[in-house]
Amino acid sequence: MLEGLLVDLVPYGKRFMENAHRWANNDSGFWAGMGRREFVTQAQIEAEYREWRESNRPETGVAFGVQTKDGKPLGYFGINFLSYHSRVANLGANIGEPDYWGGGYGTDALLLLLDYAFDTLDMRRVWLITMTLNERVLRQMEKIGFLLEARQRKATIADGVPYDVVVYGLLREEWPGRVAMIDRLGLRAR
Ligand SMILES: CC(C)(COP(=O)(O)OP(=O)(O)OC[C@H]1O[C@@H](n2cnc3c(N)ncnc32)[C@H](O)[C@@H]1OP(=O)(O)O)[C@@H](O)C(=O)NCCC(=O)NCCS
């Protein structure tokens, strides 16, 4: 378990799966899916998870459930497209409970994930993509010190409007470490 100030990251499992259907179909699915609005059944989600477990994906990714300090499942954060050769990894994030957005939970989870990627997995570089409509992520990237590395023009559509998709990257030498970042951001336990 990775213990944060507002959240803990734990191995993704049944307690999170039970909520995944709701998270896929509510507004968090729209933001995490860069404008996608789709209806996903519980059976589809379970089948995809089984497929993920049965493939060699666990070797190329790490899936965490995000929970509050008293154990309420909030969403999932993960490391994808992990390459042990180049030591580069992609990050994915979803706080599936909209009532918890803007409260620092996502930032706390991201800081845990970054320390894990750099210190435990020994990655040299992490990156992620989002659409420019997602101001929460843009703000988070700016605060944590990710660099805007690429912009794919009009690469997605959200509610009928095209938006650019942006790639953000962070190198190990640019990461001051979680403790320093908590101090810089003034993140506090509730
Ligand atoms: C993106 C996400 C992980 C961020 O986590 P969060 O807990 O909501 O964000 P935080 O509270 O840690 O804050 C992030 C920053 O965004 C700001 N913010 C919050 N709501 C905002 C809004 N509506 N518009 C712009 N900025 C906003 C916060 O104020 C904070 O900046 P600040 O500290 O300078 O004030 C979370 O919102 C989420 O999972 N959203 C749905 C799925 C998604 O977008 N996934 C990411 C795909 S790349």
pLDDT value of residue 190: 82
Residues ≥6 apart with Cβ < 8 Å to 187: 5, 6, 104, 107, 108, 111, 181
At 156, is the pLDDT very low, low, confident or very high (cuts 50, 70, 90)? very high
> Which residue in 55, 34, 47, 28 sits closest to 155, CA to CA?
34
Q: Does the beta carbon of 184 lie inside 6 Å of ligand 1?
A: no
Distances (CA, A) of 42 to 16, 22, 28, 45: 12, 9, 16, 5
Per-residue pLDDT tens over the stretch 27-39: 999 999 999 998 8
pLDDT at 146 (0 to 100) = 98
Per-residue pLDDT reduced to its tens digit, 57-113: 767 899 999 999 999 999 999 999 999 999 999 999 999 999 999 999 999 999 999
The percent of residues above 70 in pLDDT, for the chain, comes to 98
Q: What is the mean pLDDT of the chain?
A: 95
- Kindly state if the Cβ of 28 falls inside 6 Å of ligand 1: yes
* pTM check: above 0.85: yes
Mean pLDDT confidence for 50-55: 83
For the chain, domain boundaries: 2-185
CATH 3.40.50.720 fits 2-185, yes or no: no
Q: Going by CA atoms, what residue is nearest to atom 37 of ligand 1? A: 101
pLDDT band at 128 (very low <50, low <70, confident <90, very high): very high
Question: Best of 101, 138, 185, 190 to mutate for ligand 1, by most ligand atoms within 8 A of CB?
Answer: 101
- Residue 69 corresponds to which tokens in the numbers above? 């300090």
Per-residue confidence at 158, pLDDT binned at 50, 70, 90?
A: very high
